[in-house]
Amino acid sequence: MSVATSSHSGTSERRVPAGRLAVYAIALAIGLCLAFAPFLFTDVRAQEVAARICIFIVLVASYDLLIGYTGIVSFAHTMFFGLGAYGTAMVLKAWGPGWDAIIVGGAVGVAAAFVLAVLIGLLSLRVKAIFFAMVTLAAASVMLVLASQLSDFTGGEDGFTYQVPRLFSPAMKLFEDADGKVARLFGVALNGKVAAYYFVFLSSLVLFLVMLRIVASPMGTVLEAVRENEMRAEAIGYRVVAYRTAIFCIAAVIAALAGVVRAVWLKYVGPEVALSFGIMIDILLMVVIGGMGTIYGAVIGVVVMSLAQFYLKDLMEVAAGATSGIPLLPDLLNPDRWLLWLGVLFILLVYFFPAGIAGTLMKKGSH
Amino acid sequence: YTQEDPVKIALVHGLSGSPLEAYSKQTTNGFNLGLEYATKGTMEIKGRKIEVIEKDTQFKPDVARSVLAEAYGDDEALIAVGGTSSGVTTAMLPIAQEYEKILLVEPAVADSLTGPDSNRYVFKTSRNSSMDTQAQALALSPDENLFVATLAQDYAFGRDGISSFKRALEGTGATLVAEEYVPQQTTDFTATIERLFNALKDKEGRKVIYIYVAGIDAMTPLASADPARYGIELSTGGNILPAMASYKQVPGMEGSIYYYYEAPKNEINDWLVKAHQEKFGSPPDFFTAGGMAAALAIVKALETAEDWDTETLISTMEGMSWETPKGTMTFRPEDHQALQSMYHFKIKVDDNVAWAIPELVREIKPEEMDIPIGRNNQE
Amino acid sequence: MSGAILRLDDVHTDIAQYHILHGISMNVPEGGVHVLLGRNGAGKTTTLRTVMGLWRARKGAVVFRHHDITAMPTPDIARLGIAYVPENMGIFGGLTVEENMRLASTSGRFDDDRLGRVFALFPAMEKFWTKQAFALSGGQKQMLAISRAIIERRELILIDEPTKGLAPAIIRNMITAFREIAEETTILLVEQNFLFARSLGRGVAVIDDGRIVHSGGMAELAGDEALQTRLLSLSLAEHQ
Amino acid sequence: MNATLERFGGVYLIPVFLAIVAFAMIGSPSTWVTLTAAGLAMGMMIFLMASGLSLVFGLMDVLNFGHSAFVTFGAFIAATVLAAMASWLSADSAVLNMIALAAAIGAATAFGAVAGWFFERVIVKPVYKDHLRQILITMGALIVAEQLILAIWGGVPIAVARPAFLSGSIIIGDVAIETYRIFALLLGLAVFVVLYYALNRTRIGLLIRAGVENREMVESLGFRIDRLFIGVFMAGSALAAMGGAMWAGYQSLITPALGQELLILVFIVVIIGGLGSIEGSLLGAILVGLLTNYVAFLFPKLSLASNMLLMMVVLLWRPYGLKPAVKG
Amino acid sequence: MTPSLRTENLTIRFGGHVAVNGVTCAFRAGELTVIVGPNGAGKTTWFNLVSGQLRPSEGKVFKGDREISGLSPSARAKAGIGRAFQLTNLFPKLSVLENVRLAVQARRGDGPRIFTRAASLTRLRDEAQGYLESARLADVAGYPASALPHGDQRKLEVAMLIAMQPDVFMFDEPTAGMSVDEAPVILDLIASIKKDTSRTILLVEHKMDVVRALADRIVVLHNGELVADGKPDEVMALPQVREIYLGVGADEEEAA
Ligand SMILES: Nc1ncnc2c1ncn2[C@@H]1O[C@H](COP(=O)(O)OP(=O)(O)OP(=O)(O)O)[C@@H](O)[C@H]1O
Ligand SMILES: Nc1ncnc2c1ncn2[C@@H]1O[C@H](COP(=O)(O)OP(=O)(O)OP(=O)(O)O)[C@@H](O)[C@H]1O
Ligand SMILES: [Mg+2]
Ligand SMILES: [Mg+2]
């Protein structure tokens, strides 16, 4: 490396490499698909999938703030998600459908998440990473048990259903045509379902943009510094515990907000959709598949995983049918074993593309 | 619908992601056998082909909701049957209402599925927890001489079951001396056993510990702690066949069971046992019978109804009685729960059979039980 | 050459996609200290690692006595009696000084005599015998690394920059110690400290850009400042 | 004060202290004996699984979520072997019983060893030192393993037969101790002694720790570290599978979720005990076993939280566990 | 004039071993002090006590008039104490520029700002770029720090310290392992800091030529104790110092 004449270096830093552009393009394309999902995909399942993708993008991106940016391994993320969802759902159930219930319930849930995050963070973010992971795992399982035992309030294992404001019910006509029937746009009925979807989409979009802003801010780099070399970050003047706790709380609050949106969309809440360890594993898979420490990775990871969860089975069914003559293969391709293949794919991914899809793409064309 | 269009029935079950997937398999087999029996192998109703579409809930309530919505909305299924676990099924209930189509619950058991948060589009062929526990209470022939301590898991299923068991004992003179609740995944029962024994051992009379747990084996530790030394008997409800192997430790134990293939004496059950043996090389189990009952209910409803409009179907099914491998079932008009018989058994051990045999003592008829009405769909 | 204990024959080594050694050929005669010199990045460390089998030669041969060790697994090479003191010292920080030493002796037991000599050379080792090695000072870690290499009788010791971070007094001691060790063992020494190298070395080789650019007696190089400037880009005598 | 405590056993006194407090609170000696014996035996069974994890996680610094899959596999293989040898198992001869049991445990352990070999080579080797990827890749392996178990044994709970000579309890007065637990206690002790000897009286323990820190240097000292790592991994998985096999006989109704349910408990034990020390794992396991039993008797409501609380308290008091082998 | 940095009876024990033993010492602005001493004398440990990585068993540290012994390392950095490490200690996956930018940002207190205009980031970057240029690292600004060769990593270590603009600079063997043609860059940098007379510089170094070239004053540590303090020529002439440090004419056993 010669000390050559380059007073204006750093240009290399500012030129956006091709791989990075590709990631932005993919994320934008996905964003556009989601923005027009009700009109692009008219079948019922696709809409459910689209809403779920929106919510999970927020959830996974907020987890990426922890694991990808700051290097904090937490197993309590679904706990915060669940607090938001349960808070909203319980108040909706008690007060009946209404915006006041959503706002109050959501606020209670988010506040609870925040307080818990502060407590856990201050108490245990000083200890070794692995112990922190265990503490959060313990906290999450206590919460799960609580939800199951306080079944009078939480519906226990089975969860409970409730009503949401009329604006979001399928019978709601957003616009009426001349005959008083629900107006259609490109053949899609503009009913409460569409309103509900856009509620989900816009809330998710706002939260996602907030996170993009956070990681591009000075704080974002400090988080990475804390992940890379805690002791050095402290030595140049950053209070590591404070930053860790702060980001842990921010992530918790965002997860809880995602939970609020989830509760409003689903009209049902239960451990399986808002609290279980299964969701935690899904989040982990998504964040890794997408690529840690990129935020955009969350978008890609969630889409890939969701499509696999909802459609890989169908594919395997076809594959199993096509190979029915060959011994053994159909058994392994049995659609009920789709998780097996997902697991294998996942291992291969961690093995060969540890940076995930977005991370690998971004590296391409840098140097 | 044109005459050529097949009539679609959706089976919305958990097929992957949980150990319970085995239950779904049993239901599916039973359901298909049921259709075969009811249509005499033609798979047609009123000249329309029946098409069964299977949907996997992956045991996730959110997935369940979307696949059910898909079944109703995109695949235009007429009726859906499912789901496997109570939680997933709870989440599915509002979808039936949203699409105004019938959801036939099988094999999830929770009482709440026909409770206040349910809706009039929901019918349920599977038994509910109250039936289990009440039949169990009846199988103990309760009187002043009976002292019972209960062991259940500490969650809604366990607590609801025990409170309904308590209701059934009320007025019979029997005494409930202790209720023990253990965490759901308990593996060490020593402490609980000590507590149960301490509560019962000084009582004069017939002393019974009623075990009401799911997914764990409390029988083996209890039996090996030798309750007989205090004159204590164990009692528990029947279970699926593989789980009944551990009952071999308690020959002579009495309890009640939802279905055992040798218990019901009727033509349909005979056919089921034979067909199942031929097809799968094993006798039908718990959920096979339930699946078949669900299929028979659907076929009967479709055959009787004038048209297949949801409202017509609902009015046809309310109060409908039909024959199943468990004898006659009737949809109670108020909450759409199917009332059905249970079986009082006594355990017999046969070394040539892998499981302990719950020998039939007597059939407990629906009229004997007082199953609370969950909601009133008539209002 | 009969006297050579170690012979490298046109050794080419790649690290990842980079071609680092471009045909190193040299002989290390039995006995005494032999020095490998060269500027930062010349390939000295890479040469030692190639001998140890920690990098693999893509082409050429490494021969120890009559064993071809080019493709031999590292543990087997070590068991032939070759010890290695790496550039980064390779201390096991979680282990105590004693445990570090115990791993370095083949039998797991210590010869009291040799241990005495180690303690005499580096009293800090005795003082911190039961201390965990991560808590040692930078120089003490370096001492531990060398102690491990000499706790047993070895045939050949490869040492990578032992004086880095050591105080002058210790360096002086080390000169004496190495002279003593070199009486029973051959030492191949990589060094930047020319004073140190000059006072010990019998033979010397200079590496530049992955090639041997000079080899011969130490006295010859030490006496020729022009050669030093040409080979090592500045007069080493001036420095230090 | 501290020094005196240290002289009389230090942290090893905690279980004794716990037992004394429990005695005072329980009141009934027979109940206390029953609970204590049960707790010790339970602890020993957990120890079997925890020791495997502690070896791999504590010494080799590999956080293996797949550990629970070995436990589950062990349980199911033992169940299968026991089912196949059902007639020997129920025979009146203790020798035949014993052979059947040994075959079951042996098969599970052997499987564990082989699976451990495969696991180390294929799954873990590429991600040594990278905790995050370890968590992820072993999590993936766990999913695959669970699916395989589902594919092979199906999802239905499987009943496991106990050998005739180990069923029932020994009853002395009002004290009842399950025979099976006595067996577990003995087996656990045997494993402890072997491991303790191997790690503390030989250089193996040192080598593993050194190898984790600096693999190349250990090789440069003449040791075949890769073989050693494989060996440790195989031993760890074999112990997990052995623990699973023992657990199958104990729980008598097993589901594929068994391993996962135990995993948290095993993690807690390892963390309480401190990383990498076999004594620590034993201590942690016994503490957990005793506490679970005492609390379940005295305050049944608390029994779920008791282990979590124990872990929190220990971590606050000693952030590296009670008896860590590796500090810092 | 109050000294810019002062330690009072600074002591730390590890178990029974006293690594730093009652060191009382003061440093003025505009002065470059070289700290010498045999290996294990306690130089790095003393640095750790001043910059807060270790807490003293006894004694106090003052920055100007302010006692800072109870502060965390980050608080001490904010108070104007900056150090570079003996073993290179960077943010390996971040770019060279970001490494330096983080130091600039910490000094400016911009760390906790979540929402900030892009323009202010640009300002931070431009300033960081300036430090890179003075350390002759501008060319590699976009590389991750881990990809740099050893010499450049040492330079980056120093550039980060300069970017912190502390009142007290502490260098721990900044040229260790650097080849003779690389080391001058660092020495030049240190010399240029020295021109600003408001700064205090502490330097641990073993190489005698460096010591002679830069030192205004030499402090000698031995077995954790301060054994000599004064002008370079005077200190180096003391027989005791020659003995423990250079090993000249000394009984060799004494050396460590
Ligand atoms: N792991 C690696 N990956 C890529 N290149 C490497 C690696 N290790 C060394 N190199 C390169 O190989 C060349 C030779 O390095 P080597 O460490 O052998 O030099 P050296 O002579 O020992 O230098 P020094 O005096 O700095 O220790 C250098 O250009 C270096 O950048
Ligand atoms: N964390 C610790 N635990 C125990 N002892 C320690 C610790 N840190 C340092 N020491 C001891 O304190 C003494 C001083 O170490 P220090 O690193 O300060 O020396 P130094 O003067 O910097 O030496 P060098 O020139 O070799 O770097 C050494 O004997 C070392 O073993
Ligand atoms: Mg080198
Ligand atoms: Mg030092």
Following DSSP, what letter does each residue of B60-80 receive, concatenated?
Answer: -HHHHHHHHHHHHHTS--SEE
CATH of the domain at E210: 3.40.50.300
Size of interface B-D (CB pairs under 8 A): 106
Whether the CB of D302 is below 8 Å from some CB of chain A: the reply is no
Cα–Cα distance, A292 to A355 (Å, whole number) = 7
E227 assigned to some structural domain: yes
Q: How far is E176 from chain A (nearest CA, A)?
A: 19
pLDDT at position A332: 66
E86 assigned to some structural domain: no
Number of helices (H), then strands (E), in chain E: 9, 10
- Residues 6 or more apart whose CB falls under 8 angstroms from that of C70 comprise C56, C57, C60, C61, C62, C63
State the CB neighbour count (10 A cutoff) for residue A231.
11
Chains B and D, touching by 3 or more CB pairs within 8 angstroms: yes
Average pLDDT over chain A reads: 83
Whether the CB of E136 is below 8 Å from some CB of chain A: the reply is yes
pLDDT at position A208: 95
List residues bridging with C22 in a β-sheet. Answer: C12
pLDDT at position E249: 46
Q: List the residue whose alpha carbon is closest to atom 30 of ligand 1.
A: C41
Q: Which of residues 185-224 of C touch E (CB under 8 A)?
A: 192
Q: Is D2-317 a domain of CATH 2.40.128?
A: no
pLDDT at position E248: 56
What are the sequence ranges of the domains in chain A?
18-304+357-366
Residue A175's SS3 state is: coil
CATH of the domain at C34: 3.40.50.300
Cα–Cα distance, C234 to A24 (Å, whole number) = 52
Cα–Cα distance, E122 to C141 (Å, whole number) = 43
pLDDT above 70: residue C236: no
pTM, full prediction:
0.83
**Domain total in chain E:** 2
- Does residue E160 share a domain with residue E203? no
pLDDT at position A9: 38
Tell me, using a 6 A CB cutoff, whether residue E39 lines ligand 2.
yes
CATH number of A18-304+357-366: 1.10.3470
Of E111, E131, E165, the position where a domain reaches its end is E165
- Does residue E111 share a domain with residue E234? no
pLDDT at position D145: 87
Residues of E at the C interface (Cβ-Cβ below 8 Å)?
Answer: 14, 17, 36-45, 86-87, 149-151, 173, 176-182, 206-209, 244-247, 250, 252-253, 255-256
Whether the CB of D271 is below 8 Å from some CB of chain A: the reply is yes
Say if the Cβ atoms of D143 and A339 lie within 8 Å.
yes
Tell me, using a 6 A CB cutoff, whether residue E149 lines ligand 1.
yes
Cα–Cα distance, B276 to B270 (Å, whole number) = 10
pLDDT in tens, B22-35: 888 899 999 999 99
Interface test with A, best of B66, B93, B128 (most A CBs within 10 A): B66
**Sheet-wide strand order for B122-124:** B44-45, B48-56, B7-13, B79-82, B102-105, B122-124
pLDDT above 80: residue C231: no
Give the number of the atom of ligand 1 that is nearest the alpha carbon of residue C47.
18
State the CB neighbour count (10 A cutoff) for residue D253.
22
- Using CB atoms, which residue from A213, A236, A238 is nearest to E160? A236
Q: List the residue whose alpha carbon is closest to atom 2 of ligand 1.
A: C15
- Does residue E183 share a domain with residue E61? yes
Distance from Cα A46 to the centre of ligand 3, integer Å: 60
Query: Which residue of chain D is at minimal alpha-carbon distance from A337?
Result: D147
Say if the Cβ atoms of C54 and D220 lie within 8 Å.
yes
Q: List the residue whose alpha carbon is closest to atom 19 of ligand 2.
A: E40
pLDDT at position A41: 82
pLDDT at position B238: 87
Q: How far is E71 from chain A (nearest CA, A)?
A: 11
C143-171: average pLDDT: 87
Residue A159's SS3 state is: coil
pLDDT above 50: residue A1: no
pLDDT at position A318: 76
pLDDT in tens, C44-66: 989 999 999 999 999 999 999 98
Chains A and B, touching by 3 or more CB pairs within 8 angstroms: yes
A38-55: average pLDDT: 86
Cα–Cα distance, B68 to B11 (Å, whole number) = 9
Query: Which residue of chain E is at minimal alpha-carbon distance from A218?
Result: E111
Tokens of E111: 């760390």
Q: How far is D286 from chain B (nearest CA, A)?
A: 14
Tell me, using a 6 A CB cutoff, whether residue C40 lines ligand 1.
yes
- Using CB atoms, which residue from B15, B61, B183 is nearest to A268? B61
Question: Which chains neighbour A (Cβ–Cβ under 8 Å, 3 or more pairs)?
Answer: B, D, E
- Residues 6 or more apart whose CB falls under 8 angstroms from that of C112 comprise none
pLDDT at position E174: 86
Residues of chain B above pLDDT 70, percent: 98
What are residue B357's phi and psi, to 5 degrees?
-90, 120
Query: Which residue of chain E is at minimal alpha-carbon distance from A230?
Result: E91
pLDDT at position C97: 94
Say if the Cβ atoms of C93 and D213 lie within 8 Å.
yes
Determine the angle formed by the axes of helices B21-38 and B286-304, rounding to 10 degrees.
Answer: 40
Tokens of C86: 């790496």
pLDDT at position A13: 44
Cα–Cα distance, A258 to A27 (Å, whole number) = 19
pLDDT at position B188: 85
Tell me, using a 6 A CB cutoff, whether residue E41 lines ligand 2.
yes
Question: Which chains neighbour C (Cβ–Cβ under 8 Å, 3 or more pairs)?
Answer: D, E
What are the sequence ranges of the domains in chain D?
2-317
State the CB neighbour count (10 A cutoff) for residue B165.
25
pLDDT at position E253: 37
**Domain total in chain C:** 1
Cα torsion angle, C95, C96, C101, C106, sign:
negative
Q: Which of residues 186-205 of D touch C (CB under 8 A)?
A: 203
- Does residue E184 share a domain with residue E76? yes
- Does residue E158 share a domain with residue E102? yes
**Residues of chain C with C-beta less than 8 angstroms from the C-beta of D199:** none
Domain that holds residue C61: 4-81+154-239
Whether the CB of B81 is below 8 Å from some CB of chain D: the reply is no
Domain that holds residue E149: 92-165
Cα–Cα distance, B260 to B266 (Å, whole number) = 13
E85 assigned to some structural domain: no
Cα–Cα distance, D224 to D228 (Å, whole number) = 7
Tell me, using a 6 A CB cutoff, whether residue C38 lines ligand 1.
yes
C233 assigned to some structural domain: yes
A309-326: average pLDDT: 73
Cα–Cα distance, D318 to A337 (Å, whole number) = 44
Question: Residue D160 carries which DSSP code?
Answer: -
Average pLDDT over chain B reads: 89
Tell me, using a 6 A CB cutoff, whether residue C140 lines ligand 2.
yes
Distance from Cα E49 to the centre of ligand 4, integer Å: 13
Whether the CB of B53 is below 8 Å from some CB of chain D: the reply is no
Tell me, using a 6 A CB cutoff, whether residue C21 lines ligand 1.
no
- Does residue E22 share a domain with residue E67? yes
Please list the rounded mean pLDDT of every run of 10 residues in chain E (256 residues). 88 87 92 89 92 91 90 90 84 90 84 64 86 88 82 87 92 80 83 89 86 89 90 86 67 37
**Would you give per-residue pLDDT tens digits along chain D (328 residues)?**
566 666 666 778 888 889 989 998 888 888 999 999 999 999 998 998 888 888 887 777 787 888 889 999 999 999 999 888 877 877 778 888 888 889 999 999 999 999 999 988 888 888 877 777 887 888 888 888 888 888 888 777 787 877 878 877 888 888 888 888 899 999 999 999 998 888 878 888 888 888 878 888 999 999 998 888 899 889 999 999 999 999 888 887 888 888 888 888 888 898 888 877 888 899 999 999 999 999 999 988 887 778 888 887 887 788 778 877 654 3
Residues of B at the A interface (Cβ-Cβ below 8 Å)?
Answer: 15-17, 21, 56, 58-63, 65-67, 69-70, 72-74, 86-91, 93-94, 98, 110, 112, 117, 154-157, 159, 183-184
**Residues of chain C with C-beta less than 8 angstroms from the C-beta of D223:** 75, 103
Question: Which chains neighbour E (Cβ–Cβ under 8 Å, 3 or more pairs)?
Answer: A, C
pLDDT above 50: residue B363: yes
Cα–chain center distance at E53: 13
Whether the CB of C104 is below 8 Å from some CB of chain D: the reply is yes
Cα–Cα distance, A329 to B126 (Å, whole number) = 36
Cα–Cα distance, A343 to A284 (Å, whole number) = 12
Cα–Cα distance, E256 to E254 (Å, whole number) = 6
pLDDT above 60: residue A69: yes
Contact D283, D323 (CB under 8 A): yes
CA-based nearest residue to A147, from A87, A75, A95: A87
**To 5 degrees, how large is the angle CA D30–CA D35–CA D36?**
100
Residue B237's SS3 state is: coil
